Structure 1
Amino acid sequence: MIALLSAIALQAAAPSATPPALIDGLPIGPIAKQALPAKGCAAYLWNVAGTRQLVAMAGADPALLRIAIDGVTKDYARTTQTGPGGFGFAAVTEYRGGDVTATLDMTITTRGDMSQGASVLPASLRIDRPGRDTVIVAVGGLIGCV
């Protein structure tokens, strides 16, 4: 009986933290629904394998990348960009914040059936953090502009 009461007391005292939302066992999670920017363009990216969920939103102005790592959604500022792209984006863009470096490599394709935007496929999102495994996720999506 004492052991049972001790176990109940320990369980009641333990914080009830819910584990961060993850996608297919990766350290990245889904982000909430994102609105179009007030001006300019944004790229909305879903993972293309497994459970398809919105994993990133990249803004052209301001130049940022919104992703969720270990359950925390955060914006990362653009630091470098190279290669031809379009709609305010380059082919390869690096974003940084704290100990996170995220590299977005995307092919932007205009299509006749789309106005004020383009498709993004193929693309990849690479997450680098010191002392941790590098994660590369195949992504694809759309660019929308106002």
Structure 2
Amino acid sequence: MILSLLPLLLQAAIPSIDGLPVGGLSPQTLPKKGCAAYLFSTGQTRTLAAVATMEPASLRIALDNAVVDLPRVEASGTQPLNIPSQLRYAAGEISATLDLTVEQRPNLNAGAAVPRAALRVDRTGKDTIVMPLAGLIGCAA
């Protein structure tokens, strides 16, 4: 599964994932400090959908054809690599909740797998979006 997701990092941004107002992100770099979760859509369209960095604590998504960086406002639960199991982000009229499961595997150095994740995006006056995701955690060397 992990190897099948790696080619997705090389794809260009996609304006809409499966008809949702969430689009795909262009390739992202590893963080200079700490770790980041690189999360891919798991529906018909498979692309990089979200990047959650731990330092600085933020979530990057493409929403309505614009890249949005939301600061983290809350975190709970502890998993491998000190990654919280639930992360909340908010800015202006947008809030997002990311629930993820982190699994360390012997074949992954400086990172871990995210076999399951869910992203919920709430926007004032608009429909709530919920997306299943999966991906990898990458950490600075």
Distance in 1, matches of 2:27 and 2:81, equals 21
Aligned to 1:75: 69
Aligned residue pair count: 127
Structure 1: 5+ residue stretches without partners? 1-19
Q: Determine the structure 2 residue equivalent to 1:114.
A: 108
Does residue 145 of the first structure (1) align with residue 139 of the second (2)? yes
- Choose from 73, 91, 106 the match for 1:97: 91
What is the match of residue 34 of structure 1? 28
Cα distance in 1 for partners of 2:86, 2:99 equals 4
Query: Mapping of 1:2-81 within 5 angstroms?
Result: 21-81=15-75
Measured against aligned partners, the alpha-carbon deviations of 1:114-133 in whole angstroms (never above 9, x if no partner) come to 11100012110000012111
Cα RMSD (Å) of the superposition? 1.2
Q: 1:29–1:69: 8 Å Cα contact kept in structure 2?
A: yes
Structure number with bigger Rg: 1
Report the TM-score when normalising by structure 2: 0.87
Q: 1:17 — aligned with what?
A: none
Q: What letter is aligned with 1:44?
A: Y
Where in structure 2 are there 5+ consecutive unaligned residues? 1-13
Partners of 1:28 and 1:89 in 2: CA distance: 24
